[in-house]
Amino acid sequence: MTMQVRPRRSLAHLGAVVVLSGFLITLAGCWNALELDERALVVGVGLDHSRLPGQVDLSLQILKPAAAVSGGRGRGGGGGSEEKAVWVVTASGRTPFEAVRNASRLTGRKLFWGHIEAIIVHETLAREGITRLLDPFIRDHESRQLAWLLIAKGIRAKEILTAGAEMERIPAEAIRDQLKSYGATSTIMPMDIHRFMTDLAAPGKSPVAPGIELASAGEKAEPKGGSEGESKLVKVTGTAVFRGDRLVGWLDEKESRGLLWVLNQVKSGSLVVRCPADERERVGLEIMRAKSKLGLQIQRGRPVVTVEVTEVGNIADQTGRTNLTNVAYFRSLERRKAAVIRDEVQAALAKAQKRLRSDIFGFGLAMSRKFPTEWRNMELNWHDQFFPDLQVRVEVHATLRDTGTTAGPALIR
Amino acid sequence: MPERDRISTWQFFWVIVSIIITLSTFRLPHLILGAAKQDYWLAILIAIVMDISVGACLFLLGRRHPGRTLFEYAQELLGGLFGRLAGVAYVLLFLQMAVLLARSLSESLFLVMPETPGSVFVITIVFLAGLAVNKGLEVIGRLAELIGVILFFLASGVPLLASSRADFGNLLPVLQTSPAVIVKAGLLMTSFFGICVVMGVLMAYQTQPEMAFKVKAAAVVMSGFLMLASYGVALAIFGGQAFSAIIHVSFGVARLISIRGFVERVEAMVMALWVAGGFLAIAVLYYCAALGVAQILKRNSYQPVIPPLGVAMVALSLWQFKNRVTVDRFVLQVYLWYALAIEAGLTGILLVVSLLKASGKQTA
């Protein structure tokens, strides 16, 4: 088919161009386009018990775009009080969705859920089951499935949302940053909504979520110039353990890292052991690399799990004066830190198996993959019967590699 | 003959690929695959094999009746009345699939743009597809060549970008579903893949009909394995239980993509897939249906059929179903079995009759 350009054709082409240009102008926008300044961006969500029976309180941390930009991160000159970049609204409802819509009435603007950083649920509310609270955030197409889930420990979620932050103008982003840098100590388990729901649905695995509380007195930020000591800091700490979708208890930081060793989530962190040269002194060891592997067997009809942790690290600091750079001390330090790691893992195992009876390690999930037939008989009673009595062998291979850039402690003449 | 345009081998390849990719990004196949959980891949494999066999039947038929479409040789083989009825059965199959696609498209876009009336999407897409059909096969072939490549990259991009979240241990345990469930899932998947009986129409106008089978098989294998891989990633991300509970697999996966916290919310990729693929697949089916009606009625041109068919498609996509649940019930309980009976059953009958007639001639 050859195209012949004739005058009449080119006129038709001109017509087409005009019509198409018309489309360009009329069709480029969405049907229900809303400009950014007509929306309210939700960055954090908090869920608490309401004073009204059978209702939940929903608090929304809403970004104020103008304040977030114009205030800037630097010091506002001349002691003028810095405007907060967010606003917290609270409304209640019989279901979270009703609360959301009630909150919308207060904001006046259409809420936008695409930027949620964190969803914080109060501890006692989580004890009554959490899926009913998260349901609207999972169903809605706008809300981010990658938002972090946190459990407010001993404090209302609303208070967490109203607390300030120093490094970020948006407090919810400060929470996100704390979660993202969890690897510095590897004592919290960051958990997004999607992963939480996946763990919840998986057979033989219980979900966990990090806790959040207000930092204790010693960690409090210096109040900003002139104002009252209002500046409170939030701190992500500990691990909430669920059974089904109900919170049943907490792991402290040591137990949390024990969990992370097993889940192969330890990135870095510090291990403190007693100095082999002088038991009164301590040596700080940095975790450089860590890895873990699960082994499963069935012995005499009962499942046996082997957790193999491999860790490589350096000496980070020491309180004593002895130069530890020799093979014997290195070996001793390796043994000591292996013991510390094993102790952390055992602590987490003991708490989960005996006290909370909840398989947060996913041993059951691993069973279901490796021994699907045997699993069928165990599935129903896994958390109650098999998991608490499960024999778990912990093998730790800890290697000490180097001492940093100096051979020993700083020299004093 | 109402069609003078030709379709190249390469274009034919992309037509088949686009149809399967488009189907796999809509939620319908998940109705079946979700139930099969970790054994979903078996269902897809069964469908690939079955569909290639259907392709072989169509290829043999096409070679025996060169230059003729499904509708034309059905009338030759089964005689006027039965041949036309068979043609009608195929037309209904194409139309219903087009309606389901239009419905899926508006349903999927409604998910993201709840304030836009669904009819806007349906009317626009059917109208545009009608324009393409009106211009003939060549336009559709060229569209497929263009859009198909884009579809392929989008459809492989989403699982690739999401794979960092995947825990491939979730693909285990395999072979825990009962064989009956797997076979049923495989058959139902076959009827989805089987919509590629459009080959029986397009082959008549192919520039190199002798390549039709190879190309069709290659296209089905490629797009089938792409589907297998993308559902695999989805299963690895969600785990067996959550995988069967989710509705929009491709959308659900795309929502989770986050590249260093910087590139996020790439659902637009999936929406582009829906719109581009939905448009192309609807155009192909619309074309086949229109041509079919013309050939059953022995008209010289299929263009007059286009507007009434378009109106019927819009009306059905808007009013045939009340809500998502009724769509699901219809697809699972009626459509797929009907489709399977036509795609595999009727096509098989045509081939048998054709072979019998030939042997009859030889002995006579």
ipTM comes to: 0.81
What are the structure tokens assigned to B279, written together? 């448009």
Distance CA A144, CA A138 (A): 8
Residues of A whose CB is below 8 A from B173? 368-370, 372, 375
Residues of B whose CB is below 8 A from A194? 256
| Model pLDDT, residue B289 | 95
Residues of B whose CB is below 8 A from A32? 113, 115-116
Q: Are B58 and B288 in contact (CB under 8 A)?
A: no
Cα–chain-centroid distance for residue A129? 19
Contact B255 A1 (CB under 8 A): no
| Model pLDDT, residue A221 | 52
Q: Are B186 and B42 in contact (CB under 8 A)?
A: yes
Contact A198 B242 (CB under 8 A): yes
**In A165-301, which ranges are E strands?**
208-214, 234-243, 246-251, 269-274, 282-299
Q: Are A116 and A43 in contact (CB under 8 A)?
A: yes
Residue closest to A194 by CA, chosen among B338, B257, B111, B124: B257
Residue closest to A38 by CA, chosen among A110, A118, A91: A110
C-alpha distance from B85 to closest chain A C-alpha (Å): 36
| Model pLDDT, residue A24 | 72
Q: Are A323 and A354 in contact (CB under 8 A)?
A: no
**In A23-147, which ranges are E strands?**
39-49, 56-63, 86-93, 110-112, 118-122
Give the count of alpha carbons within 13 A of A178, CB side only: 27
Contact A141 B242 (CB under 8 A): no
Residue of B nearest to A205 (CA): B239
Residue closest to A163 by CA, chosen among A59, A75, A78: A59
Give chain B's residues under pLDDT 50: none
Say which of A31, A202, A369 has its CB closest to residue B241.
A202
Best probe of the A interface among B255, B260, B270, by most A CBs < 10 A, is: B255
Q: Among positive and negative, which fits the CA dihedral A112, A116, A120, A121?
A: positive
Say which of A141, A146, A202 has its CB closest to residue B258.
A146
Contact B256 A194 (CB under 8 A): yes
Q: Are A155 and A214 in contact (CB under 8 A)?
A: yes
Cα–chain-centroid distance for residue B252? 21
Give chain A's residues under pLDDT 70: 1-8, 26-36, 66-83, 216-231
Distance CA A192, CA A145 (A): 7
User: What would you measure as the largest C-alpha separation in chain A, in angstroms?
Assistant: 100
C-alpha distance from B264 to closest chain A C-alpha (Å): 10
Cis peptide before B173 (omega within 30 of 0): yes
Length of chain B: 364
Distance CA A105, CA A91 (A): 9
Q: Is B43 helix (H, G, I), strand (E, B) or coil?
A: helix
| Model pLDDT, residue A226 | 40
What are the structure tokens assigned to B77, written together? 């083989």
Q: B101-117 pLDDT, tens per residue?
A: 999 998 888 888 888 88
Distance CA B186, CA B182 (A): 6
| Model pLDDT, residue A218 | 56
Other beta carbons within 10 Å of A383: 20
Q: Are A201 and A272 in contact (CB under 8 A)?
A: no
- For the CA atoms of B13, B17, B18, B20, what is the dihedral angle to 10 degrees? 140
Residues of A within an 8 Å Cβ radius of B: 1, 30-32, 114, 141, 144-146, 180, 194, 197-198, 201-203, 366, 368-370, 372, 375
Q: Are B16 and B193 in contact (CB under 8 A)?
A: no
| Model pLDDT, residue A216 | 63
Residue of B nearest to A141 (CA): B112
Residues of B whose CB is below 8 A from A369? 169, 172-173
The amino acid that residue A395 corresponds to is E
C-alpha distance from B243 to closest chain A C-alpha (Å): 9
**Which residue carries 């038929």 as its tokens?**
B61
Distance CA B258, CA B247 (A): 21
Which residues on neighbouring strands pair with residue A87, listed in sequence order?
A62
Say which of B116, B237, B238 has its CB closest to residue A32.
B116
| Model pLDDT, residue A1 | 47
Length of chain A: 413
Q: Is A189 helix (H, G, I), strand (E, B) or coil?
A: coil
- List C-alpha distances in Å: A381 to A104, A117, A375, B314: 44, 36, 10, 53
Q: Are B41 and B185 in contact (CB under 8 A)?
A: no
The amino acid that residue A165 corresponds to is A
Q: Are A61 and A160 in contact (CB under 8 A)?
A: no
Residue closest to B106 by CA, chosen among B329, B340, B288, B320: B320
**In A216-281, which ranges are E strands?**
234-243, 246-251, 269-274
Distance CA B209, CA B220 (A): 17
Distance CA B344, CA B53 (A): 9
